[in-house]
Amino acid sequence: MRLFVNRLTVLDFSYLHSARGLVGESWQVDIELQGGLDEQGMVVDFSEVKRQVKDLIDTSFDHRLLLPADAPGLEIHGDRLAFYLDNGNRIRHQGPPDAVQFITGAEITTENVALAIHHALLPTLPGNVQSMTLRLYPEAIRGDFYQYSHGLKQHCGNCQRIAHGHRSRIQILRNGKTDPAQEKRWAAQFRDIYIGTEDDMVAITSHNDQTCFCFSYTAEQGQFELELPADRCYLVDTESTVENIARHIREVLEHEFPQDRFFVRAFEGIGKGAISETPA
């Protein structure tokens, strides 16, 4: 007998890629369990599956920086890590152990992450469960989207981690009509970008003749630091919440086109986000 739950939860995270650098991502999670029936006539109670899987993903994988443990460019020095890209650029990160998660393999893939979740989850399931299949996959998006990373030092939960991210849709209306050119522009602007708060940028450094920005802050979970190439950063003068991102896009557009009215719907991952529109 097999039990399945589709779109059980969403995994929002960032990962390191040898060509793209720091990448924000959002994956949906499907699960299928095979086994005999228990005394209730179930493989596992649906509510228990949802709670147990979601708790494990939230605790061990969600809102973390996922590290390809076997990547040749990854160097670990205690709570500090350096990741060298194919072009010679470098990303450095420091933070509490819970801010990162190592994934077996040279790259972060849906299959590798699903296998890591499988290994962590299967021993916790009831004895009648014989096997488990996990499927991780991005949202099918028609239109433009961007993948960004950020950290929210004021957040009381895991969003305070300095390098977590999302794969997000963008919708922009100009005078009540969709503006595909502006949607494409902002999707390109925020593709594989780190949206950093100006107050958190503590130094301008250099590596391999490449200017780098260093961000650092202390939050409830500890001390965080991130250094990455300046051309992969976008600075804002507020915390990089999705509300502020939506407002920032709108205000830039209003400055460029003062005679027009704008409606901006910025997503934060799948099915959630913020709306900012020109005041009446």
* Structural domains of the chain ordered from first start: 2-138 (3.30.479.10), 145-277 (3.30.479.10)
Q: Tokens 């301008």 correspond to what residue?
A: 204
Of all residues in the chain, the percent with pLDDT exceeding 70 is 95
Residue-level pLDDT at 51: 80
Average pLDDT over residues 43-61: 79
pLDDT at 3 over 80: no
Residue-level pLDDT at 188: 97
Radius of gyration for the chain, computed over Cα atoms and rounded to the nearest angstrom:
20
Where does the pLDDT of residue 36 fall: very low under 50, low under 70, confident under 90, or very high at 90 and above? low
Which region among 80-89, 125-134, 198-207 has the lowest average model confidence (pLDDT)? 125-134
Residue-level pLDDT at 122: 83
Q: In 3-state terms, what secondary structure has residue 207?
A: strand
Q: In what order do the strands lie in the sheet with 21-35?
A: 100-103, 65-68, 2-17, 21-35, 129-138
Residue-level pLDDT at 15: 98
Residue-level pLDDT at 33: 80
Which region among 61-75, 77-91, 121-135, 139-153 has the lowest average model confidence (pLDDT)? 121-135
Model confidence pLDDT, tens digit, residues 143-182: 999 999 999 999 999 999 999 999 999 999 999 999 999 9
pLDDT at 43 over 60: no
Average pLDDT over residues 179-186: 98
Where does the pLDDT of residue 2 fall: very low under 50, low under 70, confident under 90, or very high at 90 and above? confident
Model confidence pLDDT, tens digit, residues 219-240: 999 999 999 999 999 999 999 9
Please provide the average confidence, as pLDDT, over all residues in the chain: 93
pLDDT at 189 over 80: yes
Q: Tokens 């939960």 correspond to what residue?
A: 157
Contacts 24+ apart (CB under 8 A), 269-273: 269/10, 269/12, 269/26, 269/166, 269/167, 269/168, 270/10, 270/26, 270/28, 270/139, 270/167, 271/10, 272/242, 273/168, 273/169, 273/242, 273/246
Q: Where are the alpha helices (DSSP H) in the chain?
A: 46-60, 110-121, 180-189, 242-256
Residue-level pLDDT at 75: 97
Residue-level pLDDT at 154: 93
